[in-house]
Each structure stands twice: as C-alpha cells, then as structure tokens.
C-alpha cells in the first residue's frame, strides 16, 4: 500500500491554489512517510508535513531526517526551503495566557513556510481586560487577526468588537472538566456575539494559517 | 394524589434556612396547585411559585388567581406580601444585550420577594467592551454580582476580572445552532478564566437570586 | 427594562469597525424593538435587524413597520437605505441543492445591505460533481467564496481544493436523523480535508456575510 | 469460564450463512483464546480472529502462534487456509489519503480470507477531485465499492454519485478536534446526499468486507 | 433563486447510475417545487419526490398536484409512472411491532417506483422470538433483507445470524427517553454482533430502498 | 484526611440493610485503604473492596495484603470470610460471547461473598440464536437472571421475552466506534422491547449482584 | 399493513411469562389499534395499551372506546378487567415533590392491572430530608420499592441506603436546562452510591411496574 | 514565546480584586514556568501555581523548585508565604466517601494560601444519611459550605436543604460508566432541588476556594 506507485502527491497545487501540498503525518506509517519523501526528492519538490510526531521522525532514513526542518512541540516539518518574507507583518497572533504554545507555534511555523511574517501578542486573556486594551492599537488595522484561545474562549469576541479586519478563531483543547477536548472553546467561538468571526477545528493552527494565506493573496503587501 | 392530605408544605423552612418554601409550578396539575394554595391560605402562610405558566394561572379558582401577584414573562407568582426593602442595593444584575428579559426579570422578582432591592445594568455585551467599562465603577464594590448571558457568555469572565465580589453566572438558552439550549453558555461560564465564578443551571434566574440571598445573610446591610 | 434609557445602540461602530450595528431581534419583546427603532430614528441612524420574525414585525407601530425593508423567509430587516454597490461581484454564494433558501438569502441580504453585490450558484451538490465542475471557472479567482451546505456538507471540501480564495462554510440545519440540527454539517466542515476553510455557526448566514465584509475591506474593488 | 466446556464455536455457520465463524479477539484473555484454538484444532476447523493484539498473540502457545497467519497492523489472524480466489476482482477499495492503512488492510485481509480478490485505489481525497475522476472508470461498473474515509468523509458521497454499484462506507477514527473518534465521518456518511449509501461502525473494515461477501454471493463471478 | 434557470435536474442520472433523480422535498418552497415540476414536465421526464409534506403538496398548482401519485403517511410522490415489476420478490421488509408504519411504507413505495416488488413481514419483534423463527424460512434465501427497527433494534442482529443475504438496517426514531430521536437504535445496529450488517440514517427508508436497488442490479431476476 | 479518625465505616449496615459495607477502592490512596483495613481489623469486621487495582493491592502492608482474598481480573477483594452457600442456585448469569470476563466474574465474586451460588451460561449471543434457545430451559424458572452484554446488547431483550423472573441487565464497555465506553449497550437495554427489564451502570457487575441480593432476601431458598 | 392478518398478538404470553401482552400505542395508526382491539375481542382476550393518546382514543370505534378503562394523564388503557387484589400492599411508590404525576400514576395503573395494590408516598424530596425520614418506617421492610424522581434524582440513593428491599428507580424528564429530557436524572440513578439500585428508561413507569411484578412472582403474598 | 518580555504577570490584581494572580500550570512548558518564576522573584512577588505536575516541578531550576511549597496529590504550589490565619473557621468542606482526596485538598490548600482556615468533614455520603445528620450542627451556621461530590452528587442537595449559608458544589470526575469524567455529578448539582446552590467546573477545587474568598471578603471574621 505504501509502494511508490501509490503515492499521488499534488505538485500542481501551488499553480492551481497558490499553496503547495501539505501532508498530515499523523496516522501514517514510517514506510509511507518515507515513500512520500522519496517521491518529493525525486521531483525536486518541497512540501510541509503537519503533526509529524517525534517518533515518526526518528524512524525516517537519516538523509530524510536531516533534510527536515522540524520543531517538535508544534510538529510541522519543512521539506525544502520556506518562502522568503516579502512584506511587513500583516497577521497578528493573539493568545490568552492559558493557550498552549504548540498551537500558536503551529500557526507561526506555517505562515513562515508560506513567506508571511507574524507578530505574536500573548498572555492577554480577558479576565485582565486592560492587558488586551493596552495592545490593541498594535493590530487594530491589520487585515487578518488569528486568535488562539481555549476554555471559555472569550478573547475573540472582545477582539472582534475592537478591530475591522478578518478574525479567525482557533479553539484549543486545553483545560479539564467541561473544557476537556476543546468543545467549550469551539462552541463559544461559534456563538460569538462579535459579528463576522470564523473558526477552525480545535487545535488547528495549520488551518488558520492557510485561511490567512487565502485571504492575504488578495491583499496588497504591507 | 393531589388531595389535601398529600400536600406537605414546609412552613418551617424560613426558620431553618432563612428562605420560605418556593414551589416549582411547571409540570403540576391545576388541582395540585389549588390544593397547595388552599393549604397555604389555611395556614396564613406566604410562598413563591416559580415558572407558573399563564395557562396554569388561568385554571386556578378566581380567589386564588386574584390573590397572586403574577408577572407572565418571567412567571414567578407571589402568594402573600413580599418582604419590605431594608437595605440599599447590594446586588447588581448585569446582562448582555442578547439576554432574554425573562431570565433577568426572574432574578429581580425573586430578590424583591425576599426584600432585596436590585440594580439592572443591561446591554453591556463584551463585543462592545467600552459599554461595560463605563459602567463597572457602579458595581465594582458590591458583594454579589449576578451576570446573565447566553451564547458565548464572555461577560462573566470580563466582569470576574474587574470586581472583588462574588460573581454568579446564569447561562441562558437564547441562540441557534450550537448555542441552542444554552449548553455553550453554560460550558463557557464553567470554564471561565476568571477565578471564583460560580454558575447555576441554564435559565435559572430563581436559583441565582436564592444563591445571592444565601450570601447576603452574612453581609451587613448597605 | 425596555425604557428608552436602557437602549445603548453603538452609533460609532461604523467608524470603529467599518460595519454599523446589527441587532439580533429574536428573543426581544416588541416593546424593546420599538424602543430601539425610536432611538435610531431620533439619531437619524440606519441599522440592520437579523432574525426579525413576522410576528415581531406585525407588532411594531405602523410607521416603523412601514419603514422597514423586510424579507420574511430569511428575516433581515433594513432600517434605512442599504449602501450602493460600488464594485463588481467579488463574493460567489455556492449552495447544494438541498440547502434551505433562507440561509442563502440571509447572506445575500446582508451583503447587499453593506453595498456588496453577489453571485448565486445553487444546486451544485457533490453527488453530481459535474454540475459543480461546469461552474467553477465562474468563481475560481474571486477573493471570498461562501459555501452553504447541510447534511454531509461535502461541498466546501471540494471547492476548497479547486479555488485559491478564502472559503467560508455555513453549515445548515436541514435534514433528519443524525443531520437534524446541523451538527453533522458543522463537524464535516470543521474537519474538512481542504486546508484553510473556516466556518460559522449553523445557519449563520449573517455571520458569513460579515466575515466576507471584514475580508473585502482590504481587497481592491473588482 | 474459559474451560473447554464453555467454548461454543459455531462450526455450522458456513452451511447456514455462507461465512465461517469469525471471533473478535479484543477483550478476551489468552486462556480463552487458547481454548478456542484448541477446540478448532480438535475439529479440524478454520476460522478468523479479528483485532488480535500483538500482545495477545505473543501470549499464545507456540504451536498456535505459529499456526496463525497474522498481520500486526490490521490485526486479523487466519487459523487455517484462506479460500482460493475463483473470480476476477469485483470489490474496489477506495480510500482518501488521510485514511489509516490499518482499516483498509483489514478489509483486504478479510476479503482474501473469504476468497475474494481486491483492487486498492488510495490517496484519492476529494480536496483534489481530479485524482478521483482519473480513476473512476476503473471501478465504475463493479458490483460493490467499499470506501474508507475519515474526518469530513466526503469521498463516499462523490463516489455514490458516479457509480451504479452498492457503496459501503467505512468511517475511520483518524483526526483530532471534532474528528476525534470518527463520529464526524460516521455522521457525514449517514447523511450523504448520494442515495443508497450504507455504512458500518467506525473502523469496522471487517464488517464492510462481510457485507460485501453477503452481496457477492448473489452476483455471478467476474 | 427558484426561477426556472436555476433548476438543474439530472436527467442523465438513470443512464449513469441506473436510478433517476429523486428530490428531497423537505425545506423547499412551493415555488421551488413548482419550478422543478415544470422543468420535468417540459422534458417529459419522471422523478420521485421524497418527504413531500401534505402542506407542500396542497400548495402546488392543481395540474401538478393531480399528476402526483402521493401517499401522505410515508410522503414519497411519484411524478410519472413507476417501473413495472419484472421479477418475483427479492426484498423482504422485516419490521418489529413497534416500528412506525411510515418508514416501512417509504421503503415499499420507493422499491415499487423502481419496479421491485416487496414482501412485508411485520410484528416480529425479538421479545417474542418465536414469531420471527416461524417466518424466517420465507426469506432466508433472498439476496437483500431490509430490517426496520427502533428502540433497542435487536431485530437485525438476530436476522443477520439467520440469513446469508445482505442485511440493511433502518433505525427508526420511535420511542421516548434515551430512545427519542433514534440514536439508540442507530448505535445498536452499528454495533451489531452479526457480521456484515450495514445501516442507513435514522428513518431513511428511501435510502435503504436505493441501497437495495444498487445491489439488485447485479443479481439475476427471481 | 486519611488519619484513623476520619474513617467512618458502617458496621451496622448488615443489620439495617442486610448487606455489609462494600467500599469502592478506585481513587483512594494506599494510606486511606490501609486505614480502612486497620479499622475493620480492630472491629473484627469483614467487608468487600470493589475495583481494588493490582497496584493498590501491592502497596498495602503485607499482613493486609495476605489477608485479602483477591482476584486481579475482576478486582473485588474479600476481607474476611464470605458467607457459606445455604441454597441451591437461584441466579443464572447469562453472557454473550463478546462480553468481557471481568464483569461476569465481578458478579460471581460478589454473589459468592454474600453466600449465593451462581450458574454461568456464556457464549450465547443472539447472532446465533439457537445457542441461547438450547440453554433457556436451564434457567427459565429462576427468580433473578443477570444478563451481561455489550455492543448492541440484544441478549437481555430476547431473554426478557422468554422468562418470567426478574431480569437485570449489565451493559459492558467492550467494543470500538460507537460501542466504545458502553453507551450503545446501556441505551439498548434501557429501550428494550421486553417489558420489565432493569439496568445498572456500565460494567457494574457489583451493583447487579447487590440488586439480586436485594430481591433474593424475599424469595424462599431453592 | 394493518389488515387483520398482520396482527400477531401473543395470547400465550401470560402462560409463558406470567404477564399478558401489553402494547405500546404511541406511533400506531387508529386503524392498526382498531385491528388489535378486534382481534383481542374475537379471542375474548384482555390486554393493556400503554401511552394511548387522547387523540388516538377518540378515533377508535365507539364500542371499543367505551370498552376501554382509560386514564388520560398517564395514558394506560385496560381492555378487559384488571386482576383482583389478592395480597396486601407490597410495593410502595415514593416520589419527590417535583415528580410529574403522570409517571407515578402509570406505575400505579399498571400494577393494579396485574392485581397488585400500591402505597403512594409523595412529596418527600431530599432537599427536606426529614419528610422522608418520617415516612421511611412505613416501607422499610417491603420487598420492592419504586422511586420516581427527576432532575438531580437524589431520592433513590437516600432510600437505597435505608431499606433492604429491591429499589427500582424511574428517572423523569421534568425540568429545564441540563435536566431537560431526563438524562441528568437517569445518570444520577445509574451512578448512585447506594449499592444494588436498578433503573428503567426515562419516564418508563410501565416498565418499573412490570419489573416489580417479575420480582413479586417469587415473593409470598403479604 | 517564553522569553521574559512575554510574561505579563498581574501584580496589581490583589489591589484590584483582593486575590493575587494564580497561574494554571498545566499545558505550560518548563521554560515558560521558569520565566514566570524569574519575573515574580525579580518583583519580590508571591503567587500560586495550580495543577503543577510533578514532572513540571522536577524540570524547574533547583532554586525555584526548592522555593516552592508543593503538594503532589492536589498539585497547587505556593511561591512565597501564604497569608496568616486571622479568623476562626468559616468554611466547612464536606465530602462523600467516594470523593477523591486531591480535589478536597486543592480546596484546602487554596484557602490556606489566602489565609482562611478550613474544617474538613468527609465520608458523609447520603447512602448512609445518618452520618451526615450527626455532623450537620457543626456547620449549619457557617457562611459558606463547599461540598465535593462525584457520581450521583446527591450530597449538596441534602446539605442545601439543611443549612442557611452559601453552598458551592464541586463535582468530581470519579467513577466509571456514565459517571466517567464527572458530567453526571455536574448535571446533578446544576439540577439540584435545593434552591440557591451554585457550581464550579468538574474537579475545580481551586475555583471553589476562590469563590468562597470572594464571599468571605464581605463577611465579618468569626
């Protein structure tokens, strides 16, 4: 099943959609991942693995393992060079103090892969609202704001009422009791009183970064 | 089953717990409600019905119907006189603009029954955070704040970070999609990042008022 | 509670966020709605009601009722004139054949209120994939695509793989059995294999239109 | 409880239903599994274990362990010889790129046990719809198509609209957030817009293969 | 949205998939349904409406209303003539005594539309197992058995162990408490101990009939 | 918290309710368990631990560990002597082949502790209904039947229709997909078409045995 | 489907199981109910309808309607004479004040049908624990206690700790918020700290009565 | 992300709200925790970590590790000195025998941090109601009662009916089957028949202690 003949990478995707193939590594065998890397190497293509576990990475042949630019906490791996930055910052990442760093970093790493610089504004949970209010001018006029929040996920609602740009919420699975798994944060974001907020799956920092890239294609560089 | 012999009202409850019997009317037959009123009238006792529907009220004998002080939207009915106010306001009721008026009013009517005046601060949703910030000094130092909010229920978290008093959240069942039924608001409040918030059942304005009364018994009059 | 003094409309919102106040009508009393209309009329302000039921509308004073531009199926009501169109179409609305017309129309009516023309592409469910493939060139290069779909909600995934623009999914509550209420469609969209899709609450056509407006502010007119 | 007297294998099942006994190994003690193997060996019977864990297998007496034809990833174990192939391929297995290989392989191994050859068509997720369209002629006219898909599980809907044969969907438990556990994929398949799709339990590749065998009994060999 | 230009009926579907277009009526406006009927009449095409409510039917223009062969309990409507029967019975419908007649009849009406005769075997719930055992010889050797059952849905498991043919379970939404809505029946069928059972959405008699038709295309006439 | 003064064993329980204290061990620290054993030893009392994990047992002081009659799979531990058998068998335990042995054995061990002999009838799943029908005469006239079943849990419904005695269902958490955790089995039993079946919590073999003992106290010895 | 030939009443059930056939009326058409009554009348048999709605009853032919002994609140209908009482009371029914009378009465009516007298002890909720403690001696030694409770359903736990007999809990669907539908009461009963409590489906008073009858068959008359 | 510049501790919180900053440690990296400790040490500030795992603690630099007053079971860590006790006991902690000691201890440790002494009353589950009744006079007149209970969580309802003070329920996640995770206990408390009970998230002993402190600020010392 993981023989080379079965690998069907989509090398035309950048031309068609503007974003190269990215491959969800979780659930794939090391043999399958190796075949993908072989195929991409043969084509001289670059691509992004998401959610590559340290154990999966360790199992790869040494030359592939060394070729990957990997970050173990957030788990995206670059095969090939990321695009260079060609614009000033357009995407602030805002996170409450309780947000897990891995989700925030998955957003950052994905945006950097696609050549988009980022600004991180963390530890601004709404239980201490003045921390957010002190910082809001820094990003009020940016075109896309990504907000990472777990538990009650009140942060995107407050931000959505303060800024004009697109707001993308990433609910996280932190917490215990009814917060466990992230459904409370997801539902809080979906029912936000701030109009025009959109949401990704729980812990899907990669998806939020791609959504931002879809938007930024139509926006002039900063 | 609704014969007089079966009615077991708890006329000693005020002595024991400081709050008279309150009776959940929903699900009870008119015959049962009438027997309760007969019994209380015979004892010269007063009590509170909660969630008495207009249809139930219409079915009561005229002398009982006339004796009830009733409000059809929030549905508590007073049988007997409410306690007089003997203190200045100690319990602000804070509600977002999307909150249903019936829950807010159920809190107010219950507090008034027990002799506690109220202050209502409505339309202060966090998607327009300055509306809340303009008003917060009015209640920052009160001993108990009741916050009624539905959907993402971000309001109690913001308030919990601004005030020192006890904060009681009442999630409401307004909204559609994942908000329907009030579970998103309930879970948002239970997972609030503001420390020391407590919560009642969805739409339970009566319960929040009773919780406030339990606290206020130990607090000097204002 | 609905006395004029309690109405706190946000007439500065357009300056701050670029979108005027929109008010969720469901759950509000006719008295409350009337007070809001009085206040806006006194300020000479315009705004949008969402989810105003025919019964609520019928209860309004005649001069307010007549002043509203209302559509009973999707239920937004314009108080005041919508903004004029100043650009060619930038937002296609794509819907499967099973999608309820009310959600699609809520998107359209909201976009029109904010001066944004729309293109509707309906009856293109993926169970007959060629219907979609015939139409995709019409919208492949637009900056924002709104996709309305219920039940298995496979449509946004297919579209997300074909276009470069931002894709906003609106899950709908159509269907029976495990589709009832729209959670299957919501979860399908959140777990889409197409990278960078974002999602609104179930049946939230208004929210999707606002999200599109947030994006379009940064995009040159077509 | 696991003494020989308690084992009640159903050696007549092939005569009655056309499929020999298959035994779910998970949750059974090694002693119980051994007693089953002893009993079958004594009868000279063959059967299939499903979901036999590597740990369970390691605990078996050596002669039984050696007698089993085992595959550790998908976990079915053959005790005895599989039926020989007597027909050309009639059952394509179609899977999206994100599908876990273990479920696909459980289908294959079960069909092979019953003497049915298979055709695997993988990595054809609908986010890149042309990959599927290129391959569909290969299986458009086969009598039974098994589709393995997780997350949004859009694949069976698209296939169901392209082929005339029976389509059996196997939802998988891959993914995170609202995909975790496989309920989003299950619900997506149950609410498919393609008429006449049927579904098995999450990750139940064995069940899908048996369902195919039930159908193929009435179909002429290819 | 419902103007003729927007109707995209799939008149080629029979050639491609062997089943003509069937249209889910629920959620569609009368104007939309009328446009569909106009379009089909103009093409001289026949098709099936499912879940057409009596209210929707009453709103149709008289000539369309009269042209429909309608059954109000199960709600499919034939526009045009059903296919004639050209085979003896191949699909028994088995139902427990508690099953709602509307689901059973939806199966029957759909099969008849496609020219397939049916055999109904009802009131054979497993709490009186001998009722089923008396009847099982009547259908033991048929190629497809459709089993309609609600609540604990034990019937398909027992049947699955007695017959060799394909077994399609249709869970129903009858019952109260944890049975309400049909999830207990759905989950019971999905976890059936009888190997090779497949399942449709709750109350989806139409889907079960289509699944049977997909199978029967490959099976010789009886 | 686990000092001796805090242990409040209920040595009078047998006089009052007929069953000695049984103590749920899971979640308790070794120090707490030791204090309980010290207290009981000091009183010369006997009692039953349920769900004592092997790890907890290993941590106990040697003299307590040796004093316990322990079974690691089902995990009840006897401290003191079980009651002697004084009647013939009155409680058959019936289990499907997929049932985990630990739950069945927990029932047996608890009944034996209270001096009640048992009869085990296993591997009689309803997917092979004749296996059950062959055995049913053995227990048709017993006063209490305990049925242990997971997944679709069809077994208690069939038995409930065949016997006159009290039927107690114990749903088990075996299985995967929608069976995982045991809710499908629990709901199946609660919605059983067989009248008069009652149910315990998932995997609660101890509870079922106690329920049987409550019944048997009023029943003459066999 | 409702022709006489399809009715398969189980007139032997009393001989086999000791309880005559009882038929769940909800979801059945009036024609079907009439056919059942015709059949029973022709056999001179008696039986019990459960959950016969007033609307269903009104639709029956006059002679059947008059023959039924009906109670509209709890909805069981006797066709034929109930068994005479031949024992003193053995089954107390205990209910909290918030319990809906219809469930309690369904228990009573079903027990009376089978010739079993009852004792009702209502309005003894545990929020006023002394009310229960005053009454407990009245039923402490009875063989079966049925406890009807909704919301937090704490009553059966307290009773289970005070009595030696079998305790059957009937959760009810009263209440709002997280109580709505009865799942909180069901889960509370299933997780009761009182050992040996068993439970029926939500609102299933009929089932609890049948469970009691199964037990009482083995118990000497009082 | 965890560089010193990103740490935004709220050293003014005590002045504003009366409670110093407390920081949820779970999900934070050791580097982040170290930066927080560095920052607090630099300010000479004290604060509380909640849910600091033994593994996280082990990873800290030795001087910080030694500076922490840590309790591994309940996991709060004091950095700095707790406030001294300046009042007699005002907050009883009441827990059923099945409650996990870690939650009770988290309440105690948090109250002690804020200078509030506690009284623990454990092993008073309502299945042995007299144990509670013997102890209730000890705390009937205290201003705040914290009740920790899992599974059916009947304890707070009984206590709520016996005392006049504020009752805060902490549901716990102990138990198996439908108790697993604590939702049964949470829902039981939210639907309590005792008026005026409020609730925290599952296992949130820290939150209950903070809620008590919010109340006690307005209450005279004992």
DSSP chain F: --SGGG----TTHHHHHSS--EEE-TT--HHHHHHHHHHHHHHT--EEEES--HHHHHHS-HHHHHHEEE-TTT--EEESPPPPP-S---EEEEE-TTS-HHHHHHHHHHHHHTT--EEEE-S--GGGHHHHHHHGGGTTT-SEEEEEE-TT--HHHHHHTT--SEEEEEE----SGGGGGGHHHHHHHHT-SSTTEEE-STT-HHHHHHHHHHHHTTS---
- Interface contact C201-B178, CB threshold 8 A: yes
- Interface contact F123-D6, CB threshold 8 A: yes
Q: Is the pLDDT of residue G2 over 60?
A: no
Of residues E131 and C89, more confidence is placed in C89
What are the residues of chain H with a beta carbon less than 8 Å away from any beta carbon of chain B?
16-19, 22, 143, 161-168, 186, 190-191, 195-202, 206-215, 217-220
pLDDT of residue A4: 46
C42 Cβ contact partners less than 8 Å away, ≥ 6 residues apart: none
Residue H41 parent element (H or E):
helix H30-43
Chain D residues within an 8 Å CB radius of E195? 19, 22, 206-207, 210
Q: Is the dihedral of CA D112, D116, D119, D122 positive or negative?
A: negative
Token match 């709002």: residue?
A: G176
pLDDT of residue C186: 97
Chain H residues within an 8 Å CB radius of A177? 171, 173, 182, 186, 201-204
Residue F107 and residue E18: Cα distance in Å, rounded? 55
CB-CB contact of G30 with G55 (8 Å): no
Share of chain D above pLDDT 90, in %: 70
Q: What is the mean pLDDT of residues E26-54?
A: 91
Tokens of D119: 């055709």
Residue H106 and residue H205: Cα distance in Å, rounded? 5
Going by beta carbons, is chain H in contact with chain F, meaning 3 or more pairs sit under 8 Å apart? yes
Q: Which residues pair with B171 in a beta bridge?
A: B149
Residue H209 and residue H146: Cα distance in Å, rounded? 8
- Report CA dihedral (A203, A204, A205, A211) to the nearest 10 degrees: -150
Question: What are phi and psi for residue G145, nearest 5 degrees?
Answer: -120, 125
CB-CB contact of H209 with H145 (8 Å): no
CA C12 to chain E, closest CA, distance in angstroms equals 35
Provide the H-helix boundaries in chain E: 13-17, 30-43, 54-59, 62-67, 101-113, 129-135, 155-160, 183-190, 205-216
Residue E151 and residue E99: Cα distance in Å, rounded? 9
Share of chain C above pLDDT 90, in %: 70
H87-100 pLDDT, tens digit each: 999 999 999 876 67
* HSE-CB for E104 with a 13 A CA cutoff: 25
Q: Is the pLDDT of residue C199 over 90?
A: yes
Q: Which residue is closest to E27 within chain C, CA to CA?
A: C100
Q: Which residue is closest to A187 within chain C, CA to CA?
A: C201
Question: What are phi and psi for residue H23, nearest 5 degrees?
Answer: -125, 125
Q: Is the pLDDT of residue G4 over 50?
A: no
Q: Which residue is closest to E137 within chain D, CA to CA?
A: D16
| Neighbors of chain C by Cβ distance (3+ pairs < 8 Å) | A, B, D, E
β-pairing verdict for G68-70 and G77-79: antiparallel
CB-CB contact of A182 with A153 (8 Å): no
Q: Tell me the pLDDT band of F99, cut-offs 50, 70 and 90.
A: low
Assign C4 to helix, strand or coil: helix
**pLDDT, chain D, mean:** 90
Q: Tell me the pLDDT band of D120, cut-offs 50, 70 and 90.
A: very high
Q: Which residue is closest to H174 within chain A, CA to CA?
A: A177
DSSP string, B85-141: P-S---EEEEE-TTS-HHHHHHHHHHHHHTT--EEEE-S--GGGHHHHHHHGGGTTT
- Interface contact A8-D123, CB threshold 8 A: yes
Residue E88 and residue D121: Cα distance in Å, rounded? 37
Question: Which of C101, C124, C131 minimises the CB distance to E29?
Answer: C101
- Interface contact H101-F173, CB threshold 8 A: no
Q: Which residue is closest to G96 within chain H, CA to CA?
A: H193
Q: What is the mean pLDDT of residues D74-95?
A: 95
pLDDT of residue F5: 46
Chain E residues within an 8 Å CB radius of D214? 164-167, 196
Q: Tell me the pLDDT band of H83, cut-offs 50, 70 and 90.
A: very high
Question: Which of G101, G128, G176 minimises the CB distance to B1?
Answer: G101
CA B37 to chain H, closest CA, distance in angstroms equals 20
Q: What is the mean pLDDT of residues E181-210?
A: 96
Q: Tell me the pLDDT band of D94, cut-offs 50, 70 and 90.
A: very high
pLDDT of residue C99: 64
Question: What are phi and psi for residue A70, nearest 5 degrees?
Answer: -125, 145
Instruction: Name which of C104-118, F8-22, F74-88 the model is least confident about.
Output: F8-22
Q: Is A157 exposed, middle or buried (0-12, 13-18, 19+ CB in 10 A)?
A: buried
- Interface contact H6-A100, CB threshold 8 A: no
pLDDT of residue D7: 60
pLDDT of residue B53: 95
Assign A74 to helix, strand or coil: coil
Chain G residues within an 8 Å CB radius of E180? 181
Q: What is the mean pLDDT of residues A8-23?
A: 72
Q: What is the mean pLDDT of residues D158-176?
A: 94
pLDDT of residue F7: 60
Q: Tell me the pLDDT band of F155, cut-offs 50, 70 and 90.
A: very high
Q: Is the pLDDT of residue D1 over 50?
A: no
**pLDDT, chain A, mean:** 90
Chain B residues within an 8 Å CB radius of A161? 126-129
Q: Tell me the pLDDT band of A169, cut-offs 50, 70 and 90.
A: very high
Q: Is the pLDDT of residue E3 over 90?
A: no
E58 Cβ contact partners less than 8 Å away, ≥ 6 residues apart: E65
DSSP string, D152-216: T--HHHHHHTT--SEEEEEE----SGGGGGGHHHHHHHHT-SSTTEEE-STT-HHHHHHHHHHHH
B177 Cβ contact partners less than 8 Å away, ≥ 6 residues apart: A190, A191, C171, C173, C182, C186, C201, C202, C203, C204
E148-178 pLDDT, tens digit each: 999 999 999 999 999 999 999 999 998 999 9
Chain E residues within an 8 Å CB radius of G24? 98
Chain F residues within an 8 Å CB radius of E151? 191-193
CB-CB contact of H153 with H80 (8 Å): no
Q: Is the pLDDT of residue C21 over 80?
A: no
Q: What is the mean pLDDT of residues C108-120?
A: 95
Of residues E27 and H153, more confidence is placed in H153
Chain E residues within an 8 Å CB radius of F177? 190-191
- Interface contact G166-F215, CB threshold 8 A: yes
Token match 């309005």: residue?
A: G123
Share of chain A above pLDDT 70, in %: 91
Residue H4 and residue H23: Cα distance in Å, rounded? 16
- Interface contact A186-D176, CB threshold 8 A: no
- Interface contact B8-G131, CB threshold 8 A: yes
Q: How far is CA E190 from CA C219, E170, F172, F193, in A?
A: 49, 11, 16, 18
CB count in 10 Å sphere of residue D85? 14
Of residues B75 and D5, more confidence is placed in B75
- Interface contact B24-G180, CB threshold 8 A: no
pLDDT of residue F29: 86
Q: What is the mean pLDDT of residues C60-85?
A: 95
CA G6 to chain E, closest CA, distance in angstroms equals 7
Chain G residues within an 8 Å CB radius of E93? none
Q: How far is CA D108 from CA B128, D103, G147, G155, in A?
A: 58, 9, 53, 54
Q: Is the pLDDT of residue E122 over 90?
A: no
Residues in chain F: 222
Q: Is D59 exposed, middle or buried (0-12, 13-18, 19+ CB in 10 A)?
A: middle
Residue A63 and residue E108: Cα distance in Å, rounded? 63
Instruction: Name which of A119-128, B154-163, H9-18 the model is least confident about.
Output: H9-18
Q: Which of E57, E36, E55 is nearest to E47 (CA)?
A: E36
Residue F193 and residue F154: Cα distance in Å, rounded? 10
Most confident of A168-172, D132-136, G12-16, H42-46: A168-172
Cα R_g (chain D), whole angstroms:
18
- Report CA dihedral (E70, E74, E76, E81) to the nearest 10 degrees: -60
Farthest CA pair distance, chain H: 57
Q: How far is CA A102 from CA A94, A99, A105, A106, C77, in A?
A: 14, 9, 5, 6, 44
pLDDT of residue G8: 63
Question: Which of F73, F105, F131 minimises the CB distance to D8?
Answer: F131
Going by beta carbons, is chain D in contact with chain A, meaning 3 or more pairs sit under 8 Å apart? yes
Q: How far is CA E77 from CA C68, E46, E49, E100, E118, in A?
A: 40, 11, 5, 19, 18
Instruction: Name which of B31-35, D134-138, F11-15, G149-153 the model is least confident about.
Output: F11-15
- Interface contact E187-F183, CB threshold 8 A: yes
- Interface contact E195-D219, CB threshold 8 A: no
| Neighbors of chain G by Cβ distance (3+ pairs < 8 Å) | B, E, F, H
Whether the complex's predicted ipTM is more than 0.90 is answered with yes
Chain G residues within an 8 Å CB radius of E176? 26, 51, 173, 201-204
pLDDT of residue A1: 36
- Choosing among B4, B16, B19, B24, which should be mutated to test the G contact, i.e. which has the most G CBs within 10 A? B24
- Interface contact D158-C127, CB threshold 8 A: yes
Residue E168 and residue E157: Cα distance in Å, rounded? 11
- Interface contact H177-F10, CB threshold 8 A: no
Give Cα A113 distance to the centre of its chain.
Answer: 10
pLDDT of residue H6: 54
**pLDDT, chain G, mean:** 90
CB-CB contact of D45 with D72 (8 Å): no
Residue B164 and residue B144: Cα distance in Å, rounded? 9
What are the residues of chain B with a beta carbon less than 8 Å away from any beta carbon of chain A?
96-98, 125-129, 133, 151-154, 157-158, 160-162, 175, 177-179, 183-195
Axis-axis angle for helices D205-216, D101-113 (nearest 10): 40
Axis-axis angle for helices G101-113, G205-216 (nearest 10): 40
Residue G168 and residue G148: Cα distance in Å, rounded? 9
Angle at the Cα of G106 from the Cα atoms of G102 and G107, rounded to 5 degrees: 125
pLDDT of residue D3: 41
β-pairing verdict for H91-95 and H77-79: unpaired
Q: How far is CA E93 from CA D194, D211, E144, G221, in A?
A: 22, 18, 9, 46
What are the residues of chain H with a beta carbon less than 8 Å away from any beta carbon of chain A?
1-2, 6-8, 10, 13, 23-24, 26-29, 32, 51, 171, 173, 181-183, 186, 201-204
Please provide the distance, in angstroms rounded to a whole number, between the alpha carbons at the two ends of chain A.
46
Chain B residues within an 8 Å CB radius of C6? 120, 122-123
G and H: number of Cβ contacts within 8 A: 120
Question: Which of E22, E168, E190 minimises the CB distance to D195?
Answer: E22
G62-94 pLDDT, tens digit each: 999 999 999 998 999 999 999 999 999 999 999
Tokens of A66: 């060394």
Identify each DSSP E strand in E81-171 by its residue range.
91-95, 118-121, 144-149, 166-171
Chain E residues within an 8 Å CB radius of G13? 128
- Interface contact H124-F8, CB threshold 8 A: yes
F179-206 pLDDT, tens digit each: 999 999 999 999 998 999 999 999 999 9
Q: What is the pTM of this model?
A: 0.95
Residue H183 and residue H151: Cα distance in Å, rounded? 8
Residue A161 and residue A144: Cα distance in Å, rounded? 14
B6-40 pLDDT, tens digit each: 566 666 677 666 777 788 898 888 988 999 999 99
Share of chain F above pLDDT 90, in %: 71
Q: Is the pLDDT of residue A201 over 80?
A: yes
C and E: number of Cβ contacts within 8 A: 47
Residue G159 parent element (H or E):
helix G155-160
H15-28 pLDDT, tens digit each: 666 777 788 898 88
């Amino acid at each position: 099943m993981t023989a080379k003949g079965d690998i069907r990478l989509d090398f035309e995707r950048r031309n068609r959609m503007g974003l190269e193939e990215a491959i969800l590594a979780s659930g794939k065998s090391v043999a399958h991942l190796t075949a993908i890397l072989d195929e991409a190497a043969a084509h001289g293509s670059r691509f992004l693995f998401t959610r590559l576990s340290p154990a999966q990475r360790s199992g790869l042949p040494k030359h592939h393992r060394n070729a990957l630019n990997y970050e173990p906490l957030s788990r995206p791996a670059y095969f090939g060079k990321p695009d260079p930055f060609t614009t000033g910052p357009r995407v602030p990442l805002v996170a409450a103090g309780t947000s897990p760093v891995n989700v925030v970093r998955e957003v950052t790493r994905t945006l950097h892969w696609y050549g988009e610089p980022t600004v991180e504004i963390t530890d601004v949970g709404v239980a201490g609202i003045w921390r957010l209010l002190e910082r809001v001018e820094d990003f009020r006029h940016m075109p896309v704001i990504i907000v990472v929040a777990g538990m009650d996920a009140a942060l995107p609602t407050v931000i959505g009422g303060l800024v004009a740009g697109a707001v993308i919420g990433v609910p996280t699975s932190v917490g215990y009791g009814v917060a466990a798994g992230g459904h409370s944060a997801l539902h809080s974001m979906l029912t936000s009183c701030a109009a025009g907020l959109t949401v990704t799956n729980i812990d899907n920092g990669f998806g939020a970064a791609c959504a931002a890239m879809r938007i930024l294609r139509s926006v002039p560089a900063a």
